[in-house]
Structure formats: C-alpha cells, structure tokens
Chain A
Amino acid sequence: MLKLIVQRLLALVPLLFIVSVLTFSFTSLLPSDPVDLIIGDAGTQQQYEMVRERLGLNEPVHLRYLQWLGRAVQGDLGSSFFNSVSVMGAVMQRLPVTLSLTAMSALIAILIGVAAGVAAALRPRSWVDRFATLGATFGQAVPNFWFGLILVAIFAVNLRWFPATGFTPLTESPWEWLRSVILPSIALGTSSSAAIARQVRSAMVGVLQQDYIRAARAQGLPFRRVIFRHALTNALVPVVAVLSFQITVLLGGALIVEQVFAINGLGTLAIAAVRQQDIPMLQGLVLVMVGLVVTVQLATDILYGLLNPKARPS
C-alpha cells in the first residue's frame, strides 16, 4: 500500500508540470487582456503599455513560465495581477469551503444512492424499484444549478428554513455551517446519488443471487445482517470506483453551484480568475484542483484495496 502511495505521489510531479505548462500556454493564447480591466475604459495606450511592462506581460511566454515555475517550486505561487492577495492564501482560504460542499454532497449522494439502490435491488421490478429508477433518471437529467434554484425558492425564500446564499465556516458555528451547506449539497449531490443508486442496484442484484448469500439465509442469519454485512459489503466494491469518479464530478459541479448560492469557494475564485485572465490565480487553482483529484483517486484506490484484498498491489 505504501508503494502505491509513493508511486502516485511521484506520478503527481510530471502531471502537475504538464498541467501547468498547458494552463499557462492556453491562457496566454487568449486574445483578452487583464490590463484592459486594470486600466479601465478611460485608460490610454501609454498606461496600457506601462501596466503590461509592470506585470511582465511583454516577456516571451516561455520566459514568463520559467520565472513562475522557479518561484512555484519554492512554494511561492505569486500574487494576483489585480491586487496583493497571494494565490496560495486565496486558494487555501477557499479550499475548506469547496471541500465542505463536496464532502457533504458526497455524503448525501452516498446515503441516498445506497439506500435507493438497496431498496430497488431487494424488490426488483416492484414499484419501489421503478420509483428508484425513475428518481435516478430524474436526478441525473436535472441540471444541478436549476435544482439549486428550485431548492432556494422553496426552502430559503418561501419557507425560510435555510439561508439563500453564503457560507458559514464550521469553526464559526457548526449549526449555521450545516444550514449553509445543506441546500447546495443536495443540489450538487443529487445527480451523483442517482449514479450511485444505479450502480448499487445493479451490484446488489448480482450479489443477492450468489450462493453464499443463499447459504447465509439458509443458516438463519437475520435478514439485515445478510444484507448489510454480507451482500452490501461486496456490492460496494464496484461502487467505490464510481464514487471516485463522482467525487471528481462533484468538485467540478461545485464550481457552478457556488455561483447559485453565492458561496465563496474555489469555483467563485476560478470564475473570477478566468474572467479577469488572472493567470497566476488560474495557475494556482488548476494545480490545487489537479492535486485534489489525484488525492481522491489515491484515496479511492486505498479504499478499494481495503474492501477487495484481491485488488491490493503486491
């Protein structure tokens, strides 16, 4: 297992390098220019040239990249083009927000997905199964931002049960934190719960037909124990693989849902950085997102190995 972790961490280095080169190159190819925003509509050509010079934008792209890389390997991702906010500081401040949202969404997706999948698998072709299948189809088809708007209209604007916008840090008030993440997490987690439900149902139907399940039931083991201890544990093995993908999807989806709920996470930061062509901020964000995805995949591999001894690396 340790070897797997070391291998993955080593693989992260070239991956981050390639991603940083691509991000830097693609951003530099865009025709828009952050200097336009800095000097405003009243700016003159002279000011434009002055600010470009100050930001080092007149240097060739490869030189700018090498300068950035030189600082980045020392842990300095620089600061925004637009102010003195450090990239690392801005990203680290927002990371817990997006992680909160993603983690709660994943939890909701697992709870709903597993429950619906098991219920459907226990009574195939029953109304429960059909309802779960219909729900899964709906969940996957509905865009999460639209669903988020509906949730806000009902539960925030009309019923006033939850705040319509904003995020309260967990350290400030656990109760308010929960209230602030519940609606966006439902909006975000619904489509993943649908995907998980489908996978759980399919895996459970297969597992429930296995001999060892029949044997367990024949031995008179309690129904719940058979289902949750023996069947579900085995059915979850393929689900873990789906979960890894779904968490990556949730991270991406959080970028949009954050806008709907005015949550100041990595998504909001990313959208502002793209709009402003704030290259240092974009670079930092992309690196962190890649790091996150790789970490999730690594965690999934470890979990996969724990659930399925055959899958453990020799």
Chain B
Amino acid sequence: MRTLIRSSILSLALGAGLGLATVAQAEPSGTFKYAEQVKLITMDPQQQSGSGVPYLRPVYESLFEKAADGTAVPLLATGYEIDGLNVTIPLREGVSFSNGEAFNAEVAAANINRGVKLGIIEGLKTVESAEAADEYTLRITLKEPDPAIIDSLCYTGGMMLAPAAMADPTIDRNPVGTGPYVHSKDQSREGEVQVYTPNPTYWDKDMIGLARYEVWEIPDDTARLNALKTGQIDAGNWLANPQAAIIDRTAGLKLIRNTGGLNYHVIISDREGTMVPAFADRNVRLAMAHAIDRAAFGKAVLFGLSEDSYQPYAKGNWAYNPDLEGVYAYDLDKAKEYMAKSAFPDGFSFDMPSIPVYQSRLEALAGFFKEIGITMNIAPVEPGTLARRSRTTDFPATNLVWNTNTDPKFLALRYIYEDANYNPFKVKPSEELLALAEAGLESVENSVRGPIYQKMAAKLADEAFLIFVANSPILIGASEKTDANPTVVYRYGEDSINLRGLKAND
C-alpha cells in the first residue's frame, strides 16, 4: 500500500473549518431540539450496532470526520500516515475530556483496543492493535491492508471515551467524551429526552453555540411529525414513509435529502443453484432484474422519496458508476426474453424472508416477478432476525438495505468473498470480481480506488446476483426556521446535525 502523508497544518485548518459557517461565538444561548426515530439503547459508541448516533455526537468526538464533500478530515487527530499495515495518527494537543482527564495517545490507543476487543464495530475488524508511539502519536497496526480505516475512524470506531468512562459499567447512560456538550442525566428523562449542556472544558469554546441541546426519542412517525408541525422539535429524522412525504409537501416544513441513503436490494444467495437450481442461471437473474418497474416501486412503496437504483452507490459517491444508470431499466419484453433463453422458461418458485417493514416492498416485487413466471413466496420471519436468517442457508435469496456511504470494501466483505457474511452458500466469486475486490484495497486514494470499484459495480451488474432496486436518501424533516438557520449543517452521510457551531433558531 502506498504511503500517504497528510499535512498537519492543512488538517488542522480543515478540522477547524469543517463545512461550517464559523464565526466567533457569543455566550451559548437558546435550545435546539432534535427528534430521533429510534429509542436510545446505549451511549457507549463501541457497543452501538445500529442507528442512534444523534445521541452520541453531542458528547463524543471522533478522530476524524467527514467534510461536506465526504472526504475524511481530522478532528481529534491532526493528520495521518498510512504505511502498509501501520497507521500513524498525530493527535490534537490540549484536549481534555469533560471529566478533566487528559486526551492523549495512550487513551486513544486504549479506546481503539477496547473497540477491537468488543468486536461490534465493523470498521475496526481489520485492526490488530493500537499503541501510543509517543504522548500525542497514535499507532494502529492492521491485520490486513485497509484503505477505509480512516473512514471508519470518522464514525463510532473513532469516537474517544474518557478512561474513567471505559471502566464504568454504566457507561451506556453516563457518557464522557471530549465533545462540545455534556450529557445532563439530571435534566434528561429516560426513554423520553436526552439533554446536553455546554462542556465547560471544551477545547474549542467558540464552537459551542447552544445553552441546551435536546434529543427527543419519538419512534412513532406521526407523533414525530406532529411535534415538528407544532414546533415542539426543530428537526428530526425519518425513513421514506407517508409522514416524510407529508413533510415534503407541507408549507412551513422542509424535507432535507442528505447525502447517502439506504439502498434496498435483493440478494440471490444461492447463485450456484443448490436450493433453487434456476438461480444458477444468469439469464434468470437478469430477467428478474429487468422485470422490476423501479419507478412504480418507488412511487407506490417508497412514496416517491427514493431514486431508482442499479448499483450499490448513490450519485455523487466516488465509487458511483454513471454508466450503470438504467442498466436494468424496466423492460418486460426483455425480461421475458431472458426467461425464454434460460433453462427455466416455465418459471419456478422460491421463498423470500420478510419482516413487516419490508412486506409491501416484497409484495410489489412478487407482482413484478409473477409477470415472468417466477413465484416468490413471502415467508415472514421474526422482526430483528432478518440479518441473521440471511446469513444462513434457510433461504435461497434475501432482501436487505445497504448504506450507500459505506466504503465499497465492505461490499466484498458482506457479499462477494467466499466467507462473506451474506454468502451463506459459500459461493466462490468469479476471478474478475475477486481481483477487483482485492485491487480496491491496494490504495488509499479514492481517485485510484474509484475506477476499480466502478468496474466492480459493473461486474456485479453483469453477474446480477445483487439486484439493486431503490435508494432512499437520508431524510431529515426540519421546520422553516431550522431550514433558514445558516448554522445548521447536516453531517455527511448521517442523520444528524453537526453540533460544532450550531446556534438556536431564534
């Protein structure tokens, strides 16, 4: 892997100016209220496996974060250098945790090692260990080349916990980080609202604009919408559902389509035909891909809030391949031709696992497949078990969402490699696909990796065992005042607001 050195001075400047209209601030004032659609499970970032990052961001800062264009820029780090399996990260000096403990390389290493040991964070799975090279230089040793390691350190994998917090068994409700705000347990109400107040020891005090930040736990979409309409909250996150569509057309409210999103796709796991012989036939898979009327699907099932999808990445992503746009355009005649050419012209049937939230999606897909003689039996599985069941050979195919901001290397780890998480039938990838997946790991430069992954996406489209259907962007509902607030900056690829520099609407 090439060595890449980032200038500390440049990094410092980028870190400080991260996509914000930053001006020296007066005393923190006002309150900003954000509503989160998932209940708070844990405030321990290293045990966080799903959504809920908006609860963490006020308290925890990561070593790096994403700039407006999606590139990783330093935050608690000041730069980085990657040399093969060694990653050297100089750290910002003069930073302390809100409990007074100092932030240094030893603490950063302990954080990374804890994350590795807990094994929840996917982005840290390539890390062997971390150690302090000197007081403010962190050294991470990788098990294998990982060009996405810095990217992973932008999220929960790079969030820094105070040493005392790491030793606290109740850390999930007593977070201690270096962030601009501290969690106020006294003012918070468990299960209802988490309250954050300014961190008096914050290293960049000018970036604290609020006297109080609140994250409300409102899982019910209609209740969250009503809270937004009545001004009880300033903003909140939504999935592509009827309530989000209402926000989109309600005067005085604004539906923000943030970068990235959730790309719904069908996975033909049994592509060697062990359970369903027809799936070994590429013509069948191509027929299925062409039989999906994505425009109708998006309008009917995702309320017109999605974009047709033919590849893992969304427009604007460095790995997006523009040539694949429309590669599986809806064409029933073509789909039927493919079926006729296949060894299964009379059709076949298969079982597809379903959870309630995907039921309507699968009903739509079943209708499309029926048109070409394929009967898809929708088999309900317990909510929460779809991912696990999809990792087993219980079903010949499955359906999931892919976060379009995830580094493409994870696409290979999840679907392509023989031991990939979602390759339960242990199908060997084609040589070309495997070579592209490996080549993507050989550089840390997106300008080099981009063309490789574009080719990989094209090859995936050609093999058609991952059939992408619709990409729903990250949706944030905001009031008119929030939309007009120049200090509101949505984090790249996240459903949260950057709190550094955020001021209240009034």
A binding-site residues for B, Cβ under 8 Å: 30-34, 36-48, 50, 82-85, 89-90, 93-94, 149, 152, 156-157, 160, 163-167, 259-262, 264, 268-269, 272, 275-277
- What total of A-B pairs shows CB separation below 8 Å? 124
Among A39, A42, A43, A276, chain B packs the most CB atoms within 10 A around the CB of: A42
Are B192 and A167 within 8 A (Cβ)? yes
Other-chain contact of B388, A48, A157, A164, A165 (Cβ < 8 Å): A48
Q: Which residue of A lies closest to B355 (CB)?
A: A32
Q: Which residue of B lies closest to A157 (CB)?
A: B229
Are A264 and B220 within 8 A (Cβ)? no
Q: Which residue of B lies closest to A156 (CB)?
A: B230
Are B384 and A47 within 8 A (Cβ)? no
The CA of A233 and the CA of B232, in the complex, are separated in Å by 45
Q: Which residue of B lies closest to A50 (CB)?
A: B119
The CA of A209 and the CA of B239, in the complex, are separated in Å by 61
Are A164 and B382 within 8 A (Cβ)? no
Are A40 and B170 within 8 A (Cβ)? no
Are A43 and B49 within 8 A (Cβ)? yes
Are B227 and A262 within 8 A (Cβ)? yes
Among A93, A163, A164, A275, chain B packs the most CB atoms within 10 A around the CB of: A164
Residues of B within 8 A of A164 (CB): 223, 226-227, 229-230, 232
User: How many B residues are at the interface, by size bracket?
Assistant: 35 or more
Are B173 and A149 within 8 A (Cβ)? no
In chain B between 47 and 83, which residues have their CB closer than 8 angstroms to a CB of chain A?
Answer: 47, 49-50
Other-chain contact of B384, A37, A42, A84 (Cβ < 8 Å): A37
The CA of A150 and the CA of B413, in the complex, are separated in Å by 48
Chain A: minimal CB distance from B215 (Å) = 13
Are A260 and B385 within 8 A (Cβ)? no
Q: Which residue of B lies closest to A169 (CB)?
A: B189
Are B382 and A165 within 8 A (Cβ)? no
Chain A: minimal CB distance from B161 (Å) = 15
Chain A: minimal CB distance from B4 (Å) = 26
Chain B: minimal CB distance from A267 (Å) = 11
Are B223 and A33 within 8 A (Cβ)? no
Bits for B96-126, please: 1 = Cβ < 8 Å to A, else 0: 0000000000000000000000011010000
What are 12 A-B pairs at a CB distance below 8 A? A31-B381, A33-B385, A36-B387, A38-B47, A40-B387, A45-B391, A47-B120, A82-B41, A163-B232, A165-B227, A167-B192, A262-B216
Are B384 and A259 within 8 A (Cβ)? no
Are A264 and B192 within 8 A (Cβ)? yes
Are B385 and A31 within 8 A (Cβ)? yes
Q: Which residue of B lies closest to A42 (CB)?
A: B122
In chain B between 354 and 393, which residues have their CB closer than 8 angstroms to a CB of chain A?
Answer: 381-385, 387-388, 391
Other-chain contact of A272, B39, B383, B391 (Cβ < 8 Å): B39
Q: Which residue of B lies closest to A46 (CB)?
A: B119
Shortest 3 CB-CB distances between A and B: which pairs?
A40-B49, A32-B382, A164-B226
Chain A: minimal CB distance from B436 (Å) = 22
In chain B between 420 and 454, which residues have their CB closer than 8 angstroms to a CB of chain A?
Answer: 421
Are B223 and A165 within 8 A (Cβ)? yes
The CA of A4 and the CA of B259, in the complex, are separated in Å by 65
Q: A165-B218, A165-B223 are in contact. Are A42 and B382 (CB under 8 A)?
A: no
Q: Verify if B222 is at the interface (C-beta below 8 Å from A).
A: yes
Residues of A within 8 A of B119 (CB): 44, 46-47, 50
Residues of B within 8 A of A260 (CB): 220, 222-223
Are B384 and A32 within 8 A (Cβ)? yes
Q: Verify if B191 is at the interface (C-beta below 8 Å from A).
A: yes
Q: Verify if B93 is at the interface (C-beta below 8 Å from A).
A: no
Q: A32-B385, A42-B421, A157-B230 are in contact. Are A83 and B192 (CB under 8 A)?
A: no
Q: A156-B226, A166-B232, A268-B191 are in contact. Are A44 and B382 (CB under 8 A)?
A: no
Are B220 and A259 within 8 A (Cβ)? yes
Q: A30-B382, A41-B387, A149-B222 are in contact. Are A83 and B49 (CB under 8 A)?
A: no
The CA of A36 and the CA of B383, in the complex, are separated in Å by 10
Chain B: minimal CB distance from A27 (Å) = 12
Chain B: minimal CB distance from A146 (Å) = 11
Residues of B within 8 A of A90 (CB): 190-191
Q: Which residue of A lies closest to B233 (CB)?
A: A165
Residues of A within 8 A of B229 (CB): 157, 164
The CA of A262 and the CA of B193, in the complex, are separated in Å by 11
The CA of A275 and the CA of B50, in the complex, are separated in Å by 15
In chain B between 184 and 229, which residues have their CB closer than 8 angstroms to a CB of chain A?
Answer: 189-193, 216-220, 222-224, 226-227, 229
Q: Verify if B337 is at the interface (C-beta below 8 Å from A).
A: no
Q: Verify if B42 is at the interface (C-beta below 8 Å from A).
A: yes
Chain B: minimal CB distance from A257 (Å) = 11
Q: Verify if B400 is at the interface (C-beta below 8 Å from A).
A: yes
Residues of A within 8 A of B122 (CB): 42
Other-chain contact of A31, B192, B218, B382, B414 (Cβ < 8 Å): B382
The CA of A262 and the CA of B119, in the complex, are separated in Å by 34
Chain A: minimal CB distance from B115 (Å) = 13
Q: Verify if B169 is at the interface (C-beta below 8 Å from A).
A: yes
Residues of B within 8 A of A48 (CB): 388
The CA of A189 and the CA of B426, in the complex, are separated in Å by 57
Residues of B within 8 A of A33 (CB): 382, 384-385, 388
Q: Which residue of A lies closest to B387 (CB)?
A: A41
The CA of A103 and the CA of B243, in the complex, are separated in Å by 32
Other-chain contact of B169, A32, A36, A84 (Cβ < 8 Å): A84
Q: Verify if B128 is at the interface (C-beta below 8 Å from A).
A: no
Are B189 and A264 within 8 A (Cβ)? yes
Are A84 and B49 within 8 A (Cβ)? no
Q: Verify if B172 is at the interface (C-beta below 8 Å from A).
A: yes
Residues of B within 8 A of A259 (CB): 219-220, 223
Are A165 and B226 within 8 A (Cβ)? yes
The CA of A84 and the CA of B171, in the complex, are separated in Å by 8
Residues of A within 8 A of B381 (CB): 31
Residues of A within 8 A of B216 (CB): 166, 262
The CA of A216 and the CA of B253, in the complex, are separated in Å by 64
Q: A32-B385, A165-B226 are in contact. Are A37 and B232 (CB under 8 A)?
A: no
Residues of B within 8 A of A44 (CB): 119, 421
Q: A84-B170, A85-B190, A264-B217 are in contact. Are A37 and B223 (CB under 8 A)?
A: no
Residues of A within 8 A of B230 (CB): 156-157, 160, 163-164
The CA of A268 and the CA of B191, in the complex, are separated in Å by 8
Residues of B within 8 A of A36 (CB): 384-385, 387-388
Are B384 and A264 within 8 A (Cβ)? no
Other-chain contact of A84, B172, B224, B421 (Cβ < 8 Å): B172
List 13 additional contacts besides A82-B42, A84-B172, A275-B383; criterion CB under 8 Å.
A31-B385, A32-B383, A44-B119, A84-B173, A94-B191, A156-B230, A157-B226, A164-B226, A164-B230, A165-B223, A260-B222, A264-B190, A264-B217
Residues of A within 8 A of B41 (CB): 82-83
Residues of B within 8 A of A277 (CB): 384
Bits for B161-174, please: 1 = Cβ < 8 Å to A, else 0: 00000000111110
Residues of B within 8 A of A43 (CB): 49, 120, 387
Residues of B within 8 A of A37 (CB): 49-50, 384
Other-chain contact of A166, B192, B222, B384 (Cβ < 8 Å): B192
The CA of A160 and the CA of B232, in the complex, are separated in Å by 11
Chain A: minimal CB distance from B342 (Å) = 32
Are A38 and B191 within 8 A (Cβ)? no
Chain A: minimal CB distance from B160 (Å) = 20
Residues of A within 8 A of B227 (CB): 164-166, 262
